């Protein structure tokens, strides 16, 4: 029996050569279906006709599902008999679980028709590098971000803030560092992180946010790296899977934490990074945000910068705010004295509980999805919780980085599958 493969296809806009304003107008006023029929061939002698329906057109890559059982091969480009490249970037790889993640970007100005296709091997632009307890992800030799799997502690910072299992630094397309770690005003802030200030293990209070509490008043709870579950690279994206544990000072494991990150190639407007987080309780666990402002959840702390702009789904945010519900929010600025803006938006997955959750927005440099806010979520032993997000790392501010359009693309995508 042939393996069943789940495939994702990224679609590039057919509308090229038009004025940008006209493109945007078309995107938001005209949705149509494009039926693309093609033949897949060149794999084990099998041929199969597939119908692909694209519900809308966009310059931002859009994911669409291909049916299970579609034939693919690791690291290939599909080309036509006349040597026209059918997809702008090639397919990704086979996974060890026999589920194929098929990432592709179709060429511009492609029309609907049948095409016999053959497979041509392609290489990956992605590499890994380990140093000082960090796994550094790169594309064409340029750093994307680092995952801190080893315990980290900056100079002149109290030892109680030592931590691991977070992302820092995150780089923009020009190599500027966008995130901060151990900032002087909040030593506990750490790049891209997922943590809560109110954690109860069998009703005993802990603080994953500050680790030992803001005044060192609690016993410690720590996110501790266990192992890599996925480290795969392909021509279109790379996949990083991590198993962590929440451990008490006595080394008791009270929660399993699984992190799955899919990092896509940089495109004209930005780079997508999908994050899937799954927690499975080993003891009774209760989590909650700060009891008044509700902060705690999926968080970004930004580096020093100039000319900060915070934008949400409702438009420009003039000031700090707590628990306003938006599907997305964006933080843009000029980093490292750059003359150009860059930014990071966080998109909440529409399947997350209580979607959309509230936010903690701070002009000093913080962007956080504050879920569950001031409410309490309880996991009994063996119960699991999954949250999904996308980072959209873009050039320019929220408008130039096409953040709203990128979010509309994301909300049509299924949750990241292992």
The pLDDT tens digits for 193-244 are: 999 999 999 999 999 999 999 999 999 999 999 999 999 887 778 899 999 9
* Chain centre distance of CA 325: 20
- Which of 121, 153, 177 is the last residue before a domain boundary? 121
Domain with 189 in it: what CATH number? Answer: 2.70.98
The pLDDT value recorded for residue 79 is 53
**If residue 29 lies in a helix (H) or strand (E), which one and from where to where?**
helix 20-29
* Alpha-carbon span 263 to 179, nearest angstrom: 17
User: In which region does residue 339 sit, left (phi positive, over 0), alpha (psi from -120 to 50) or beta (all else)?
Assistant: alpha
The pLDDT value recorded for residue 91 is 41
Q: Which residue has the tokens 């310059």?
A: 59
Q: Is residue 95 located within the same domain as residue 177?
A: no
Please give the C-alpha separations between residue 91 and each of 62, 144, 203, 312, 351, in angstroms, as whole numbers.
Answer: 15, 21, 48, 34, 27
Considering its fold, how many domains does the chain have in total?
A: 2
Q: Is residue 283 located within the same domain as residue 265?
A: yes
Q: Is residue 199 located within the same domain as residue 55?
A: no
Q: Is residue 49 located within the same domain as residue 99?
A: yes
Q: Is residue 178 located within the same domain as residue 310?
A: yes
Higher pLDDT among residues 379 and 97, named by residue: 379
- Give φ, ψ of 404 to 5 degrees: -60, -45
Cis geometry, peptide bond prior to residue 355 (ω within 30 degrees of 0): no
- Which of 71, 86, 121 is the last residue before a domain boundary? 121
Q: What is the mean pLDDT of residues 251-270?
A: 94
Residue 416 falls within a domain, yes or no?
A: no
Q: Is residue 66 located within the same domain as residue 182?
A: no
Cis geometry, peptide bond prior to residue 135 (ω within 30 degrees of 0): no
Residue 141 falls within a domain, yes or no?
A: yes
* Alpha-carbon span 315 to 327, nearest angstrom: 12
Q: Is residue 100 located within the same domain as residue 130?
A: no
Q: Is residue 145 located within the same domain as residue 66?
A: no
Higher pLDDT among residues 9 and 413, named by residue: 413
Q: Is residue 86 located within the same domain as residue 235?
A: no
- Which of 90, 121, 152 is the last residue before a domain boundary? 121
As a whole number of Å, the CA-based R_g of the chain is 22
Residue 373 falls within a domain, yes or no?
A: yes
The pLDDT value recorded for residue 409 is 82
Q: Is the pLDDT of residue 124 over 80?
A: yes
Q: Is residue 111 located within the same domain as residue 142?
A: no
Q: Is residue 239 located within the same domain as residue 352?
A: yes
Which residues sit opposite 190 in a β-bridge?
A: 181
Residue 338 falls within a domain, yes or no?
A: yes
Q: Is the pLDDT of residue 249 over 90?
A: yes
Q: Is the pLDDT of residue 140 over 70?
A: yes
For the chain, what percent of residues have pLDDT higher than 70?
69
List the one residue out of 71, 88, 76 whose CA is nearest residue 122: 76
User: In which region does residue 213 sit, left (phi positive, over 0), alpha (psi from -120 to 50) or beta (all else)?
Assistant: left
Residue 2 falls within a domain, yes or no?
A: no
Residue 415 falls within a domain, yes or no?
A: no
Q: Is residue 181 located within the same domain as residue 300?
A: yes
Q: What is the pLDDT of residues 306-349, one digit of tens each?
A: 999 999 999 999 999 999 999 999 999 999 999 999 999 999 99
Q: What is the pLDDT of residues 370-409, one digit of tens each?
A: 999 999 999 999 999 999 999 999 999 999 999 999 998 8
Higher pLDDT among residues 15 and 141, named by residue: 141
Q: What is the average pLDDT value for the chain, to the nearest integer? A: 79
Range of the domain at 15: 7-121
Q: Is the pLDDT of residue 47 over 80?
A: no
Residue 417 falls within a domain, yes or no?
A: no
């Amino acid at each position: 029996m042939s393996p069943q493969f789940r495939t994702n296809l990224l679609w590039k806009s057919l509308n090229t050569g038009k004025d940008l304003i006209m493109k945007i107008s078309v995107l938001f006023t005209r949705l149509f279906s494009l039926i693309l029929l093609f033949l897949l061939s060149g794999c084990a002698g099998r041929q199969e006709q597939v119908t692909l329906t694209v519900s809308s057109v966009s310059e931002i890559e859009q994911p669409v599902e291909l049916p299970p059982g579609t034939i693919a091969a690791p690291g290939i480009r599909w080309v036509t008999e006349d040597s026209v490249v059918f997809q702008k970037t090639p397919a990704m790889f086979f996974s060890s679980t026999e589920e194929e993640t098929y990432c592709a970007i179709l060429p511009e100005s492609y029309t609907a028709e049948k095409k016999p296709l053959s497979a041509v091997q392609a290489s990956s632009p992605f590499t890994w590098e380990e140093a000082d307890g960090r796994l550094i992800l790169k594309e064409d030799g340029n750093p994307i971000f680092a995952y801190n799997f080893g315990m980290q502690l900056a100079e002149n910072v109290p030892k109680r803030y030592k931590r691991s299992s977070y992302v820092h630094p995150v780089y923009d397309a020009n190599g500027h560092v966008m995130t901060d770690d151990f900032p002087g005003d909040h030593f506990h802030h750490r790049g891209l992180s997922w943590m809560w200030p109110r954690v109860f293990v069998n009703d005993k209070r802990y603080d994953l946010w500050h680790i030992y509490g803001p005044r060192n008043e609690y016993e410690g709870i720590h996110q501790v790296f266990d192992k890599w579950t996925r480290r795969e690279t392909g021509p279109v994206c790379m996949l990083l899977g991590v198993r962590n544990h929440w451990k008490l000072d006595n080394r008791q494991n009270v929660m399993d934490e699984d992190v799955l990150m899919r990092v896509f190639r940089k495109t004209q407007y930005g780079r997508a990074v999908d994050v899937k987080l799954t927690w499975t309780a080993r003891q009774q666990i209760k989590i909650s945000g700060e009891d008044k402002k509700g902060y705690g959840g999926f968080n970004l702390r930004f580096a020093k910068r100039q000319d900060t702009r915070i934008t949400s789904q409702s438009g420009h945010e003039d000031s700090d705010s707590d628990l306003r519900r938006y599907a997305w929010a964006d933080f843009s600025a000029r980093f490292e004295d750059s003359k150009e803006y860059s930014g990071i938006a966080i998109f909440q997955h529409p399947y997350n509980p209580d979607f959309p959750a509230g936010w903690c927005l701070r002009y000093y440099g913080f962007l956080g999805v504050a879920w569950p806010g001031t409410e309490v979520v309880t996991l009994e032993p063996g119960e699991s919780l999954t949250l999904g997000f996308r980072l959209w790392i873009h050039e320019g501010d929220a408008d130039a980085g096409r953040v709203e359009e990128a979010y509309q693309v994301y909300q049509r995508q299924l949750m990241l599958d292992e």
